[in-house]
Amino acid sequence: MMAPMKLLAVLACVNGLRPPANTPLARDTRAEYSKESAGPQIDLLAKQHRMTVMSVERAKLEVFAAYAPRIAELEAQLKIKELEAQIAANGAAPANGAAAIPIAPSAPVALPDAPAAPTLDFLEYAEIPKTAFKPTAPYKSAIRSVKRAIGPDAPGEICHVVMTTEGKLPYVEGQSVGVVPPGNKGGKPHQQRLYSIASTRYGDDGAGDSVSLCVRRAVYVDPETGEEDPAKKGICSNFLCDGSPGDVVALTGPVGKGLLLPESPDADVIMVATGTGVAPYRGFVKRLFDEQTPANDAFTGRAWLFFGGPTSDSILYPELWDAAKASKPDQFDLTLAISREQTNEDGGRMYVQHRIVEHADEIFDRLDNGAHFYLCGLKGMQPGIEAALEEVCDKKGLVFKDWVKALKKDKRYHVEVY
């Protein structure tokens, strides 16, 4: 009799995963505010709440779908055990053992239709959000999740960190926020560290109440011993990568206007990055391809991402790039430079600048037709990229300094290095 009881216990647990038949996607949200701010604040909270509820419902459906075959199997096993128990209680045995017990095939598990992706339009700002929080008075955020963002065989560690904003720290794609790590140095608080925002203004779940960062854990390895020196590790990156849900994080900002998406929806976007420099481009691509936003509907240009990393496992957010290509095949391109796995035309390691030279004609054609060029990543990458662009300019009879100066004047050459 223990086996049926265990099966019943398992089924009781998994049944909790079944989504309710008629779950409302919005509930009444009530809060107390001053008369001056009550209207817009309640509207914003209601929309954020609705997005959160829909996100939870989608997650429940995904989990239930993953467990559906196992649920059906357990239900069939339970029927067999129940019949065996009834036969044993009546003092009889089946003629040919348990296999002879007539069991009707389990009905297929019916999954409710997943709710359609909601239209996100409640954070479409008329102006770029200005700095709302400074290091002396930061916003007290809390970590929601910290997940490794690269494969197990990639060198080093990069984490995707999601933190709450409660809608109090508005931002747009391409801006940055500062993180003030806890503790002090020499009796003074640590200085803030700036990070490019890796989410859209609506956050990763569409509720508009969170912000995401792409953080590389900074460590120092002694060249003589080959061991990490804890005294020289990055204070802020290790604080974030070691964070747990609920940990308080002091945030500042937002800041930055130099790495924003073009105002024109038909402009091409050429994005170049290595490692965590891809963070702002994640926000760009989610807004233009993944989320149901006015920007997605209006975008008629092409987005082209050049990404460099040491190994295939180092590619950040590959699912997003695949989804973008699937949703708009003619409007998204991805070109990879995997230094330890690919070779350039000279037989050496493949870096992003080599890809720039390979595709120079198309890149320059797009720039001649109004495309925007973005460069984001470590400072060490900028000289190589610009040397490649200068090489192409020389071949085309252009003066690099004049060419790049004209792009900057037209606000179509965007650089953010650190």
CATH of the domain at 342: 3.40.50.80
- Per-residue model confidence (pLDDT) at position 29: 36
Identify whether residues 279 and 224 lie together within a single domain.
no
Q: 348 and 289, same structural domain?
A: yes
| Cβ atoms 366, 268 nearer than 8 A | yes
Catalytic residue among 214, 241, 376, 393: 376
In a domain, 58, yes or no: no
**240 in a structural domain:** yes
Query: Is 412 domain-assigned?
Result: yes
Burial letters for 359-369: b for 16+ Cβ neighbours within 10 Å, e otherwise? bbeebbebbee
Shared domain for 177 and 247, answered yes or no, is yes
- The verdict on 248 and 275 lying in the same domain is no
Say which of 171, 173, 176, 195 is annotated catalytic: 195
pLDDT on residue 213: 98
Are 317 and 275 members of one domain? yes
Residue 27 vs residue 315, higher pLDDT: 315
For residue 125, being part of any structural domain is answered with no
| The last residue of a domain, from among 230, 255, 280 | 255
Report the pLDDT averaged over residues 309-333: 96
Number of domains observed in the structure of the chain: 2
For residue 32 the two structure tokens come to 């107390």
Tell me, yes or no, if 416 is annotated catalytic. Answer: yes
196 counts as catalytic = yes
Non-local (6+) Cβ contacts of 287 within 8 A are 173, 200, 201, 261, 293, 295, 296
Instruction: Tell me which of 141, 176, 196, 212 is the catalytic residue.
Output: 196
248 shares its domain with 295: no
Tell me: do 342 and 392 sit in the same domain: yes
Q: Supply the mean pLDDT for the chain.
A: 84
Residue 295 and residue 404 in one domain: yes
Give the integer Cα–Cα distance in Å for 334 and 355: 11
Q: Is residue 61 a part of any domain in this protein?
A: no
* 279 and 391 housed in the same domain: yes
Residue 110 lies in a domain: no
**Mean pLDDT along residues 271-280:** 96
Mean pLDDT over residues 311-316, rounded? 96
Give the structural domain span for 215.
139-255
Residue 20 within a domain:
no
State the catalytic residue, choosing from 57, 173, 291, 416: 416
Lowest mean pLDDT among 214-223, 283-292, 332-341: 214-223
Taken as a whole, the chain contains a residue count of 418
Angle between helices 381-395 and 400-409 (to 10 degrees): 110
Tell me the per-residue pLDDT of 83-104, one tens digit each, with 9 for 90 and over: 677 766 666 554 444 444 555 5
Which residue, of 220, 255, 290, is where some domain finishes?
Answer: 255
In a domain, 341, yes or no: yes
The CATH number of whichever domain residue 230 belongs to comes to: 2.40.30.10
Same domain for 160 and 184, yes or no, is yes
Last residue of a domain, one of 191, 220, 255: 255
Q: Do 202 and 241 sit in the same domain of this protein?
A: yes
Identify whether the C-beta of residue 170 lies closer than 8 Å to the C-beta of residue 253. no
Contacts of 413 (CB under 8 A, 6+ apart): 372, 373, 404, 407
173 & 243 share domain: yes
